[in-house]
Amino acid sequence: MRTEIFGIHTPGDSLVHRTPPGVKILAVLLLSLIPLVVRSPWVTLGGLAIALIVLFTSRVPVRRWLPLAWPVVFILVVVVIYQGIHGRVDLMVVVPGNVLAALYLARALVLTTSGPDLLDAMSRVLPERVALAVALMLRSIPQILDAMGTVRDAARARGLGRNPIANLAPVIVHAIALAQVTGEALVARGLGESDMLE
Amino acid sequence: MTDTDAPRDLALIAVFAALAAVMSFVVIPVGPVPITLQTLAVILAGIILGPVRGFLSVALWVVVGLIGAPVFAGGTGGLSTLAGPTAGYLLSFPFAALVAGGLVSVLHRAFARRALAAAVFLAGLVGLALSHALGIIGLMWSQQTPFKDAFLGDLMFWPGDLAKNVLAVVIALAVFKAFPRIRHGLS
Amino acid sequence: MSITFNGVTVEAQRPDGTTRVLLADVTAELTEHRIAVVGPNGSGKSTLLKLINGLMTPTRGSVLVQGIDVASAPRRVRRTVGFIFTDPAAQLVMSTPVDDVGLSLRRTIKNRAERRERAAALLAERGLTHVLDQSIHDLSGGERQLVSLTSVLAVDPEIIVADEPTTLLDLRNRNLLRRTFASLPQQMIISTHDLELAATCERVLVVEDGRIVDDGMAATVLPRYRERMA
């Protein structure tokens, strides 16, 4: 399980690494959305090819960007089988191809851009409170994962290892407590006030 | 509304968005179908935070995931999700939280403040139904699937979602006991 | 420097509708440089501290910071009062120390590069150069607490309130934080179970059941407190 949200950043000095984060974000947006709207196998394959070329030029080791999560593979396989049965060869290419193209483009972005640089680029366009919410969300993920581990150990110690309530309810309670202290800390630091923009 | 409400709400919204991400990382394989706790997090956000904060919280998670942070099922993220067959579900989630959060107070009042559990269960169920409906529309669009196929495909997620809705009731009641004032910000 | 409590009572509603008294008719004038607040868990220490920057408001009575009523101008007061929480993990907003300190500086330094440089310099003053861009999550408890302190000091507060700042720290980090606190020019109000930390303060208040039950110089109050708790 991932404990560090932007942990997959791989520093480097390739052209992809040196491209400004704002340009990369924009490129990922366009290249992911165009095939989605056009729905032509050739556009899809073109998008996928660009994604792969970008990843190869970034010189990030292949094993760091190639593997797919099991749920993604599952869905893609289901789609291909389904469209195959219905004889829609074009959709057999378009749907999984669009998914993979967008997925690898996003990976290229996250692998070649550090978390703070990404947040920085986003916070240039986002209102301050939204940027703050994004930062708070990302910093809370490892904290909740930690709590989940602690709760799981406690549930096991009580012989409730497989009880979903014993494994989940304390995590939610902990998350709310975390949110409340965080809220107080924001107040104390003068952050996130309703007129923060002024 | 005091001057400290906005930061406190912001913290709850952000932490529940993080919770949705964490719940998405948990993948329980049920037969060949990978089930995550996503929908549980969505329904809980609506029910615990209320419609407005619940919507904002789930929307924050969805947007951050679409931007590319690996916060969706199995640690994925990015616009690829919009290209996949599950796009409709993902986009429905903020609205499912909104509906569940709005209904729980309406129903609770309708039940004359008794049977909070029933109110939570029904509100969650309606939220889930909305999510499934939009999910089916998404399937029909992205896969050019006839309604019948999309409907049957969608059916396989119902057993898991029903189980999660029961979990949501138990957890929500525990949370309301631990934090009796949490629903006060509910509009 | 002065903080004044005028007959402050704080009550909270229980879920069943009854009221619970968190603080009962507290009157005190805090002018010393370093003041410790000690007492058992649930005695009202946190409440007392949170009144100083308006995180909690009195049910009756008033709290004045430098002559300003906290209830009437909470934001103005908060700009002069820095608050250190027990758990720095909750206090830190950004994912890296340099970004978190930078967040505190955003009002005063608009240029990003300058802000980063200043944040890095402030962290270096606390001996944190080696963790500038590390994930907050990977820091030790002591490093995290020092980052929180740096973020709080970055806005130049006149008063620092710390709520059990050493409770989650190991012995070495406790000592480190104690030394760091001792070097600060700001007026400090520290609630703590760490009697060595309390002993470094000029004045100690003992809170029990929402009341100040003892008050005076550390050398005289702390031995009496140890006896009380025996």
Kindly report the average pLDDT of chain A as a whole number. Answer: 85
Q: How many domains does chain B have?
A: 1
- A5 pLDDT tier (thresholds 50, 70, 90): very low
Nearest neighbour of A175 by CB, restricted to B19, B34, B78: B19
Domain around B41: 5-185
The pLDDT of residue B26: 83
- pLDDT, residue B32, reads 64
In this complex, the residue of C79, C91, C138 whose CB is nearest that of residue A185 is C91
Q: Is the CB of residue B83 less than 8 Å away from at least one CB of chain A? A: yes
Can you name the residues that pair with C84 across neighbouring β-strands? C162
Predicted local confidence at residue B31, as pLDDT: 67
In CATH terms, is domain C3-229 a member of 3.40.50.300? yes
Q: What is the pLDDT of residue B95?
A: 98
**Bridge partners of residue C215, in order along the sequence:** C205
Across chain C, which has 230 residues, the per-10-residue mean pLDDT values are: 93 83 95 95 93 93 95 91 91 89 88 90 92 88 92 94 91 90 94 93 95 94 91
CB contact under 8 A, A142 and C85: no
Q: Report the pLDDT value the prediction gives residue A196, as an integer from 0 to 100.
A: 45
Q: What's the average model confidence in pLDDT over A92-115?
A: 87
Interface test with C, best of B1, B4, B12 (most C CBs within 10 A): B4
Q: How far is CA A146 from CA A141, A143, C42, in A?
A: 9, 5, 27
Instruction: Measure the N-to-C terminal CA separation of chain B; round to a whole number of Å.
Output: 11
CATH number of the domain at B98, please: 1.10.1760.20
What ranges do the domains of chain C cover? Answer: 3-229
Q: What is the ipTM of this complex?
A: 0.91
- Which one of C107, C134, C135 makes the best mutation probe of the A interface by having the most chain A beta carbons within 10 Å? C135
Per-residue pLDDT of chain B (187 residues; tens, 9 = 90+): 466 788 999 999 999 999 999 999 887 777 666 788 999 999 999 999 999 999 999 999 999 888 777 888 877 777 888 888 889 999 999 999 999 999 998 998 888 767 889 999 999 999 999 999 999 999 898 888 889 989 998 998 899 999 999 999 999 999 988 888 777 543 3
A86 min Cα distance to partner chain C (Å): 48
Helix (H, G, I), strand (E, B) or coil at C134: coil
The 10s digit of each residue's pLDDT in A136-168 is 998 999 999 999 989 989 988 888 878 888 889
The dihedral over CA atoms of C67, C70, C71, C73, expressed in degrees to the nearest 10, equals 90
Compute the radius of gyration of chain A from its Cα atoms.
21
* DSSP H helices in chain B: 5-25, 38-49, 51-67, 80-83, 87-110, 116-143, 147-155, 158-178
